[in-house]
């Protein structure tokens, strides 16, 4: 590329952060990973926290690397993270403490307490968000329930990426797509649902202004420029919820196409022009998150490759240094359908010895217990494919569409065995890629904010020209149908955390 524009994007997930430098010549987009860092919750007594101070230091290092890699010609920078988690500033503008991790156990049984004050169906009708015990609404009420005065000193409420952006720019804003994951944002009227919060004794004065993605938030703060010895450049408010950024990078959004953002979590859904909040959505616990360019993402969260990641963590601790490709190859060599689990079973919500947890779950449900590492991995992948089928069938009912294709994006799109299983289980075509969809969507919105692209559709055309995809065709086998019937029996025996 000759004299391309250069853009930096950081995507922080529950297991780590990655920074990419993009080059755009007006027609094609190239991205290169230039920095990577770890992220994991920190256990303190019985609680789990995120180490925000270390993460912010990593972000500053990433900015310094991006400026150096671009030879000081960085057009802009944007950051996205996961949803639901939040941070509080006190009334003097200082961080009130490290943010809790959504897997913290303080929200156990908290939903039932909230439903005694506001009925479940009323919350859903007002917000359209699926019920998971770690949603921001329940995290905040857990604070109220434990100590009614806990929030009295809160000055500003931020979602996690808003907190990063505050320290990067000094601007106190909440970005729209992440705000919609809280379960107290009203997508129909496009505002915080302050009335619902007041019923739960959650203060509303701490809520910041909500802004749309694809806009310049401000320039990098002077104190950071001085610390890093860099010149100021624009910080863009991208779709800071990683799923919303990833959805921007789906090359084809057609009426009969679903997307599957595949990673620690899988999110299976469709992009719509207006919110879909219905009794059927409530009954099936679907969500309606905000997307970029005034779209809505009607989807279901599925606990996914987190199970495989936790297994790998344990195996590594035992000296088995598997790569992701190693364990996929081992799984492929194993006998199919030894056992099936519900990946959303409550036992898999919190960290632990997942190989043991999976064995115990198989024993509890009266199945053959997988013994080898490859068999455990295959159990996870086959179970996920069946969970996708279960969700896909209900998605079609909720959105009233006959869906013909699934487009897999994100890091999990590299898992060719899971993609193959998904095509076979659902009996539909699966197209995988681009792999770094969240970073690519982040970059597209920066290009829109900087006036280099006129629309999200223009960006999607560039993605189609710039990145390759892999196609997996369905296999018309009755075996997956038999295993699906077994899966339905198994899931009826498991206690799920997001129903």
* Per-residue pLDDT tens listing for the chain (499 residues): 678 999 999 999 988 999 999 999 999 999 999 999 999 999 999 999 999 999 999 999 999 999 999 999 999 999 999 999 999 999 999 999 999 999 999 999 999 999 999 999 999 999 999 999 999 999 999 999 998 887 988 999 999 999 999 999 999 999 999 999 999 999 999 999 999 999 999 999 999 999 999 999 999 999 999 999 999 999 999 999 999 999 999 997 778 999 999 999 999 999 999 999 999 999 999 999 999 999 999 999 999 999 999 999 999 999 999 999 999 999 999 999 999 999 999 999 989 999 999 999 999 999 999 999 999 999 999 999 999 999 999 999 999 999 999 999 999 999 999 999 999 999 999 999 999 999 999 999 999 999 999 999 999 999 999 999 999 999 877 899 999 999 999 988 776 765 4
Listed by start position, the domains of the chain span 5-242, 251-433+469-499
pTM: 0.93
Relative to beta strand 405-409, strand 429-432 is parallel
- What residues form DSSP beta bridges with 235? 77, 218
DSSP 496: B
The CATH code for residues 5-242 is 3.30.420.40
Q: Please return the burial class of 184, using the count of CB atoms within 10 Å of its CB with bins 0-12, 13-18 and 19+.
A: buried
Asked whether 134 and 86 are in contact (CB, 8 A), the reply is no
Give the per-residue pLDDT at 495. 65
CA 334 to chain centre: 30
Indicate which residues carry an active-site annotation: 242
Relative to beta strand 16-24, strand 29-38 is antiparallel
5-242 with 251-433+469-499: one CATH topology? yes
Give the per-residue pLDDT at 171. 97
Q: List Cβ neighbours of 471 (8 Å cut-off, separation of 6 or more).
A: 429, 430, 431, 432
Give the integer Cα–Cα distance in Å for 437 and 413: 10
Q: List Cβ neighbours of 458 (8 Å cut-off, separation of 6 or more).
A: none
Superfamily of domain 251-433+469-499, CATH level 4: ATPase, nucleotide binding domain (3.30.420.40)
The dihedral of CA 265, 271, 275, 281: what is its sign? negative
Burial 187-215 (b: 16+ CB within 10 A, else e): beeeebbeebbeebebbeebbbebbbbbe
Give the integer Cα–Cα distance in Å for 308 and 250: 25
User: For 47, what's the count of Cα atoms within 13 Å in the CB-facing half-sphere?
Assistant: 13
DSSP 187-229: TTTTEE-HHHHHHTT--STTBPEEE-SSEEEEEPPHHHHHHHT
Give the integer Cα–Cα distance in Å for 11 and 55: 12
Give the per-residue pLDDT at 496. 73
Give the per-residue pLDDT at 498. 59
CA 122 to chain centre: 25
Give the per-residue pLDDT at 174. 98
Asked whether 66 and 34 are in contact (CB, 8 A), the reply is yes
């Amino acid at each position: 590329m000759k004299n391309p524009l250069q853009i930096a994007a950081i995507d922080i997930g529950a297991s780590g952060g990655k920074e990419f430098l993009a080059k755009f010549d007006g027609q094609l987009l190239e991205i290169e990973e230039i920095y990577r860092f770890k992220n994991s919750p920190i256990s303190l007594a019985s609680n789990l926290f995120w180490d925000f101070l270390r993460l912010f230091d990593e972000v500053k290092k990433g900015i310094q690397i991006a400026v150096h890699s671009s030879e000081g010609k960085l057009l802009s920078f944007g950051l996205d993270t996961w949803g639901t988690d939040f941070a509080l500033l006190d009334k003097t503008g200082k961080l009130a403490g490290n943010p809790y991790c959504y897997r913290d156990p303080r929200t156990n049984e908290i939903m039932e307490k909230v439903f005694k004050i506001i009925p479940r169906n009323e919350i859903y009708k007002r917000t359209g968000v699926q019920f998971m015990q770690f949603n921001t609404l329940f995290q905040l009420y857990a604070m109220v329930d434990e100590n009614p005065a806990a929030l009295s000193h809160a000055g500003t409420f931020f979602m996690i990426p808003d907190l990063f952006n505050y320290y990067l720019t000094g601007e106190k804003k909440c970005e729209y797509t992440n705000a919609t994951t809280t379960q107290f944002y009203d997508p129909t009227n496009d505002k915080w649902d302050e009335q619902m919060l007041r019923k739960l004794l959650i203060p509303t004065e701490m809520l910041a202004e909500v802004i749309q993605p694809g806009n310049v938030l401000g320039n990098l703060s002077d104190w950071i420029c001085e610390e890093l010895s860099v010149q100021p450049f624009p910080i863009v408010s991208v779709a800071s919820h990683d799923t919303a950024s990833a959805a921007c990078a789906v090359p084809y959004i057609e009426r009969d196409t679903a997307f599957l953002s595949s990673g620690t979590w899988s999110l299976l859904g469709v992009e719509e022009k207006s919110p879909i909040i219905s009794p059927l959505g409530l009954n099936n616990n679907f969500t309606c998150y905000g997307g970029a360019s005034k779209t809505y993402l009607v989807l279901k969260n599925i606990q996914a490759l987190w199970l495989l990641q936790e297994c790998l963590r344990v195996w590594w601790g035992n000296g088995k240094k598997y790569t992701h490709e190693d364990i996929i190859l081992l799984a492929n060599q194993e006998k199919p359908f030894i056992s099936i689990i519900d990946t959303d079973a409550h036992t898999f919500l919190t960290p632990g010895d997942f190989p043991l947890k999976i064995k115990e779950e198989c024993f509890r449900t009266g199945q053959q217990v997988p013994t080898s590492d490859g068999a455990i991995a295959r159990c996870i992948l086959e179970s996920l494919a069946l969970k996708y089928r279960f969700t896909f069938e209900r998605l079609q009912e909720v959105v009233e569409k006959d869906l013909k294709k699934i487009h897999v994006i994100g890091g999990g799109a590299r898992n060719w065995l899971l993609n193959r299983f998904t095509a076979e289980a659902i009996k539909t075509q699966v197209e995988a890629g681009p792999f770094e969809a969240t970073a690519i969507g982040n970059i597209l919105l920066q290009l829109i904010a900087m006036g280099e692209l006129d629309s999200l559709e223009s960006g999607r055309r560039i993605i189609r020209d710039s990145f390759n995809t892999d196609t997996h065709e369905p296999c018309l086998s009755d075996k997956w149908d038999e295993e699906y019937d077994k899966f339905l029996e198994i899931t009826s025996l498991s206690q799920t955390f997001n129903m």
